[in-house]
């Protein structure tokens, strides 16, 4: 350990490592993007408008929003060589692994850092859809001339349902950014070495796969669909707590009492469950949330309700983590640009606890 080094909690819990103007939480516990509450943006703004705000730090005017939207649309397709890379992936490859591999290899047309980052972000929906379909021996879908959310929803489901796409868009906005989360911090560490945007995004894609980060929503669905009643939800919590096992979808390092994002999606889910005639699943989810709070005072996080939300939208579980990555790629773009604009190599020290004085 370097002399004068400061020892901090494991996992950097409650440690401020840098400044950011991109996102944080306000005094009432709301996630904010560039000063705007994320739930307000999800309710009132388009995905493209929010993505511009997060990336560039201000709301776009009409011409800027059109140019930004046109850029995403015109850079959304992948070339034949990228399709060939996907065809070489073995059957059974997880979609998020395929995305990471393809992003690290695919040719990019743009040259400025912001445009390279946005080109990568623009292509992730198509890579997700084509990769899944190629791996499973299906035909890829033809393109759709639509908004980012409508097109992404179509690529995931094959459905051009604008109402469902609007529900989907709200979730995408809430997933877009969350300050120094694990994948974003991984990106910033890589960016701090002055690695290029593609390498940095690849680092973020590797970090987002884990079940304690981007993979949590898929884990939630795996247990939720096994429950048929509120009583079964209560028993599930009892069994898990008795075994001292973690229940995915609950708890967050930032939100100790309430995750406003989760509560926003919960309200949207109630509407969606009524439309889809799935009120029973909504009731099971709320019973489980209540039991966890009554027993452990641990709130549901965004992933808990997002998993059920995406299921009711007809989205296959294979896409859950890729959806998180696609949306968060715009937050990654903002963090890459912020890191390199005022860069210092991120290189923490460590405390050695191994053996000493040995000789061969």
Q: Is residue 160 part of a domain?
A: no
Is 30 among the residues known to form the active site?
no
Ramachandran region, residue 32 (left: φ > 0; alpha: ψ -120 to 50; beta: rest): beta
CA separation for the pair 154, 314 (Å, rounded) = 11
Query: What pLDDT, on the 0 to 100 scale, is given for residue 334?
Result: 98
Q: What is the sign, positive or negative, of the torsion defined by CA atoms of 41, 43, 47, 48?
A: negative
User: What CATH number should be reported for the domain holding residue 273?
Assistant: 1.10.230.10
Q: Is residue 262 part of a domain?
A: yes
- 240: nearest Cα among 254, 224, 256: 224
DSSP at 24: E
Query: What pLDDT, on the 0 to 100 scale, is given for residue 347?
Result: 94
Q: Is residue 110 part of a domain?
A: no
Alpha carbon distances (Å) from 324 to 103, 288, 318: 16, 23, 12
Q: Is residue 272 part of a domain?
A: yes
Cβ atoms of 237 and 291 within 8 Å: the answer is yes
CA separation for the pair 12, 17 (Å, rounded) = 8
pTM of the model: 0.92
Angle between helices 113-135 and 148-157 (to 10 degrees): 20
Beta-carbon count within 10 A of 108 CB: 16
Cβ atoms of 116 and 108 within 8 Å: the answer is yes
Query: What pLDDT, on the 0 to 100 scale, is given for residue 220?
Result: 84
Residues of the domain holding 282 = 216-312
Query: What pLDDT, on the 0 to 100 scale, is given for residue 314?
Result: 97
CA separation for the pair 241, 247 (Å, rounded) = 8
Query: What pLDDT, on the 0 to 100 scale, is given for residue 1?
Result: 58
| Catalytic residue from among 238, 252, 259, 349 | 252
CA separation for the pair 332, 257 (Å, rounded) = 27
| Catalytic residue from among 40, 97, 196, 213 | 213
Q: Is residue 203 part of a domain?
A: no
Looking at the structure of the chain, the number of domains it has is: 1
Largest CA distance in the chain: 71
Q: Is residue 356 part of a domain?
A: no
Cβ atoms of 343 and 68 within 8 Å: the answer is no
Is 178 among the residues known to form the active site?
no
CA separation for the pair 289, 283 (Å, rounded) = 10
DSSP run (H or E) holding 25: strand 23-25
Query: What pLDDT, on the 0 to 100 scale, is given for residue 256?
Result: 76
Angle between helices 162-175 and 320-341 (to 10 degrees): 40
| Catalytic residue from among 303, 316, 342, 349 | 303
Query: What pLDDT, on the 0 to 100 scale, is given for residue 2?
Result: 65
Residue with tokens 């400061």, as numbered in its chain:
6
Q: Is residue 106 part of a domain?
A: no
Alpha carbon distances (Å) from 343 to 5, 59, 260, 329: 21, 25, 32, 20
Percent of the chain with pLDDT over 70: 99
Q: What dihedral angle (degrees, nearest 10) is formed by the CA atoms of 71, 74, 79, 85?
A: 50
Reduce the DSSP state of residue 36 to 3 states and report it: strand
Is 213 among the residues known to form the active site?
yes
CA separation for the pair 261, 306 (Å, rounded) = 10
Q: Is residue 237 part of a domain?
A: yes
* Residue ranges for the chain with pLDDT beneath 50: none
Q: Are strands 36-37 and 31-33 parallel, antiparallel or unpaired?
A: antiparallel
Query: What pLDDT, on the 0 to 100 scale, is given for residue 20?
Result: 97
Beta-carbon count within 10 A of 224 CB: 20
Reduce the DSSP state of residue 68 to 3 states and report it: helix
CA separation for the pair 22, 332 (Å, rounded) = 10
């Amino acid at each position: 350990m370097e002399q004068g080094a400061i020892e901090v909690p494991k996992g950097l819990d409650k440690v401020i490592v840098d400044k950011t103007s991109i996102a944080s939480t306000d005094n009432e516990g709301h996630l904010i993007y560039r000063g705007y509450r994320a739930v307000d943006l999800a309710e009132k703004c388009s995905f493209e408008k929010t993505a511009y705000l997060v990336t560039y730090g201000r709301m776009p005017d009409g011409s800027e929003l059109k140019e930004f939207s046109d850029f995403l649309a015109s850079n959304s397709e992948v070339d034949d060589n990228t399709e060939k890379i996907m065809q070489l992936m073995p059957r059974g490859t997880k979609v998020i692994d395929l995305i990471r591999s393809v992003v690290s290899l695919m040719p990019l047309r743009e040259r400025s850092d912001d445009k390279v980052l946005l080109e990568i972000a623009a292509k992730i929906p198509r890579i997700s859809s084509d990769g899944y379909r190629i791996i499973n021996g299906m035909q890829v879908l033809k393109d759709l001339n639509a908004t980012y959310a409508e097109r992404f929803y179509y690529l995931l489901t094959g459905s051009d349902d604008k109402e469902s796409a609007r529900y989907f868009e709200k979730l995408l906005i809430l997933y877009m950014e969350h300050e120094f989360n694990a994948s974003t911090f991984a990106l910033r560490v890589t960016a701090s070495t002055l690695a290029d945007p593609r390498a940095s995004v690849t680092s973020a894609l590797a970090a987002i796969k884990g079940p304690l980060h981007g993979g949590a929503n898929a884990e939630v669905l795996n247990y939720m669909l096994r429950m048929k009643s509120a009583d079964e939800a209560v028993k599930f919590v009892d069994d898990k707590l008795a075994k001292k096992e973690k229940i995915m979808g609950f708890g967050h390092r930032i939100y100790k009492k309430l995750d406003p994002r989760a509560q926003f999606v919960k309200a949207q889910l109630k509407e969606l469950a009524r439309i889809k005639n799935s009120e029973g699943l909504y009731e099971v989810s709320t019973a489980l949330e209540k039991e966890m709070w009554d027993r452990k005072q641990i709130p549901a996080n965004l992933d808990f309700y997002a998993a059920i939300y995406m299921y009711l939208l007809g989205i296959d579980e294979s896409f859950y983590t890729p959806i998180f990555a696609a949306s968060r790629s715009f937050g990654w773009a903002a963090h890459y640009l912020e890191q390199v604009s005022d860069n210092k190599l991120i290189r923490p020290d460590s405390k050695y606890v191994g053996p000493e004085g040995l000789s061969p």
